[in-house]
Amino acid sequence: MKLVNLTPHNIHITGYGDIEPSGTIPRSHSYLSQVDSVEGIPIMLATQGDVSNMPPAKKGVLYVVSSYIRECLPERADLLSPSKLIRDQGGNIIGCGALQANNSYKK
């Protein structure tokens, strides 16, 4: 199985190594609409739209994406996102210990 990084960042996985960015970055599109206001402050609702620049599923390939992109496409069994995040003393993410799949993932 091949891992392809569709994030703009190098992904460091403890015990595995680094996955370099592929240069392709999917983007999600959402639409805001005002549903209320409280004391003059608009309350907005975001409706998820399409994800663009997402390669089609390909046999033998798993794509590493942000958790948000993965969750926008729950039917995609080939999407993974960093999980078990590892942070430095300043709270910055420096790696991960695992990759998380959608419920549609099959071994």
- List CB contacts of 96: < 8 A, sequence separation 6 or more: 11, 12, 13, 14, 82, 83, 84, 85, 86
Domain presence at residue 80: yes
Domain presence at residue 107: no
Neighbours of 78 (CB within 10 A): 22
DSSP of 71-90, one letter per residue?
Answer: HH-TT-TTEEEEEEEEE-TT
Domain presence at residue 106: no
- List CB contacts of 43: < 8 A, sequence separation 6 or more: 34, 35, 36, 37
Q: Which residue range(s) make up the domain with 13?
A: 2-101
CA 98 to chain centre: 14
- What's the domain count of the chain? 1
pLDDT in tens, the chain (107 residues): 999 999 999 999 999 999 999 999 999 998 999 999 999 999 999 988 899 999 999 999 999 999 999 999 999 999 999 999 999 999 999 999 999 999 999 87
The Cα–Cα gap between 102 and 44 comes to 27
pLDDT at 39: 97
Domain presence at residue 31: yes
pLDDT at 106: 86
pLDDT at 49: 84
Strand pairing class (41-52; 27-38) = antiparallel
The Cα–Cα gap between 96 and 86 comes to 5
